[in-house]
Amino acid sequence: MQIRDTRALITGGASGLGLAVAENLIAAGGKVALVDVNDAAGVEAVHKLGPNASFHKTDVTSESDVAATVAAAAAAMGGLTLAVNCAGVGWPKRMVGKEGTMPGEFFRKVIEINLIGTLFVCKEAAAVMQKNAPNAAGERGALVMTASVAAFDGQIGQVAYAASKGGVVGMTLPMARELASSGIRVMTIAPGLFMTPMMAGLPQEARDSLGKQVPFPPRLGEPSEYALLVRQIVENPMLNGETIRLDGAIRMAPR
């Protein structure tokens, strides 16, 4: 697909990885619909990005909210060819800790946001993309999901998070196989240690220490580097049904 023709819905689009994707696509001539729960950040991001961006406040765990937002985003952009799922939480909690066992509701909430929310967005976006006229190569759209290296190297305290991201990895191939007949590709990115708003809240010393754990380059990843991979996924039609680790060769230690 041509990046300049992209009409993208981006969850978690008001900050971090999602905002970086939006900036990259806008600069290339595309249009974006930012989906986020943060009103203030969403409005600020759209003001920064300009007239080719819109903001849609949405709770991705609400099936009806997501369906309405996907329809509204497609209408605002005059179509939908890409959905990028960056909304998620990384809350840590031990399964059995000093405060007792992990509440089932905690586990359930992480799964609802990271895994079920991703499914809601993908299924609604795919339904819209199926109505697109195919390009010369038969493509109608692409879905990009965000997992994490925790799906493979989950650390102590990441039982819920790793389960949710492992679920995203597990959906990738069957989703790609199902949507292949519609000309819709599906890819997942599994980032390592990236400079996200959550990381930005840590002291500089802590960030530097984490960055040094990465073999090369020995630093935290930049959101713009995540956005570059999304762009390559859009432009390279052979990228389909796979999870790509974007991690500088890090393998996380148990703690």
Active-site amino acid positions: 161
Rounded CA-CA distance 62/73 in Å is 16
Residue type, 183: G
Per the structure block, which two tokens stand in for 55?
């903001």
For the chain, the 3-state helix, strand and coil shares in percent, each to the nearest 5, are: 45, 20, 35
> Residues near 245 by Cβ (< 8 Å), separated by ≥ 6?
149, 152, 190, 192
b/e 27-42 (16+ beta carbons within 10 angstroms → b)? eeebbbbbbbbbeebb
Three-state secondary structure call for residue 161: helix
Rounded CA-CA distance 29/38 in Å is 25
Q: Report helix angle 63-77 to 117-129, nearest 10.
A: 40
Rounded CA-CA distance 12/208 in Å is 25
Are 186 and 241 spatial neighbours (Cβ–Cβ below 8 Å)? yes
Rounded CA-CA distance 251/246 in Å is 11
> Residues near 68 by Cβ (< 8 Å), separated by ≥ 6?
none
